[in-house]
Amino acid sequence: MATNRRFPRYLLLIALFFIGAASLLQAQTAGYFMQMEDGKPRFIQRLVWHGGENALRYEALIERQEDGNFRRYLLESTTLSYMYISLPPGEYRFCIITYDILDRPVETSPWVPLEVRPALQPEILPTPAKLIESADDRFHSLEFDAKNVVPDAEIFLRRQDGTLVAPISTVVAGNGSLRLHFNREQLLAGEYELIVINPGGLEASTDVVIVEVEVEQTKGIKPLGFVICDMGMSFSPQVISLYGNAQPLYVAFAAHINTGFKVPSGIHIGPEFTVSVMIDEELDQSLEVGFNLLIKKWMAGERMAFNFRIGAEYGVLPEELSDIEKIKSNIGVSFFWLVYNKFYVEAGVEHLNYFVYNAPNGFMRLRFGFGVQF
């Protein structure tokens, strides 16, 4: 009896075809690494795929984009399910073609995009960093001059204690400037090192960057200039005798104007002129003019200060008093606070000394005032 020996052979070929076609072929990129050749960095790309396990071999077809069109650039063959290649910078796509045991192409994967960037060595130029404050004073920005920094570079600051401070956002400008944005609470005054790492591990760092962050100031308060001027009113309750003498007690209302010139160590110093009206316990009134040397020592932020004043007052009215009775010296200290914008309040104490030989010297009076500063 005759048998068809060709039938099993056809079955075998058909079975092999369906086995090869049954697996879905998928290709993808699996990262890259960098190696040095002749002192220059070069990126190595790794292509991987899965499916087509019964294939005899694989071909990787790589096309490069030129003038908006893709053209064949490279065709590589391998029996493995991965491949290492080194492509110059550019836009590519690739697909994987499987070949069966008869070395015939049986399946092609979908196209996979591939972008190859140049291996750039970042460089931080030795120009001073610029500290920029936002208009609402919520953020700080540091600006550096740099070269070869790519947009997705890893950039951060490192404090001297090793703490890393990452910016909330980074802007790499086309003119070579690098701007890092931080929350105000992140960027404390101190010393930092700037570190930039481009893709592939190419790294650059600066010397220590000294960041000086100004203390937060109240909205509307600007740093004080070289010259300031205060104009205001004050009220002094009854004078308190330190020696229990019979000096009449009185209250005083005064107008003040002073000018201060800025000197080192956060100090303004200048003259102060006063005109005051005093009313004693018998409701008699007197008018006095005064001159003081005012020293204003500012605290952090230039919102608060201690005022030190020393000077003299002269009684203009009543006229029947002798010249010696019209003069008294004055020395005092007060706390000064710019509450909002240019408006201030003041509170302190003063010591008065009368130049009258038949009366003990030494009187104290409180001082409460308010006004504006220019």
Q: Do 257 and 351 fall into the same domain?
A: yes
Poorest-pLDDT segment among 102-111, 119-128, 345-354, 356-365: 356-365
Per residue in 220-244, pLDDT (tens digit) is 445 566 788 888 888 887 666 666 5
pLDDT at 319 over 90: no
pLDDT attached to residue 219: 43
**Confidence at 66, pLDDT banded by 50, 70, 90:** very high
Look at residue 8 and tell me if it is in a domain: no
pLDDT at 71 over 90: yes
Write down which residue in 186, 211, 236 finishes a domain: 211
CB 321 within 8 A of CB 287: no
Q: Give the residue-averaged pLDDT of 8-14.
A: 44
Distance of alpha carbon 289 from alpha carbon 36, whole angstroms: 84
Which residues span the domain enclosing 26? Answer: 19-116
Express as a percent the part of the chain with pLDDT over 90.
19
Kind plus residue range of the DSSP H or E element containing 15: helix 6-22
Per residue in 38-56, pLDDT (tens digit) is 767 777 888 999 877 788 9
Q: Do 231 and 369 fall into the same domain?
A: yes
More confident residue, 173 or 210: 173
Distance of alpha carbon 264 from alpha carbon 244, whole angstroms: 43
More confident residue, 169 or 25: 169
pLDDT attached to residue 208: 58
Sign of CA dihedral 83, 85, 90, 95: negative
Sign of CA dihedral 11, 13, 16, 21: negative
Domain count, the chain: 3
Residue 277's identity, in one-letter code, is V
What is the token pair recorded at 131?
Answer: 């500290």
CB 333 within 8 A of CB 349: yes
Q: Do 128 and 179 fall into the same domain?
A: yes
More confident residue, 341 or 36: 341
pLDDT at 217 over 60: no
Mean pLDDT, the chain, integer: 78
Look at residue 266 and tell me if it is in a domain: yes
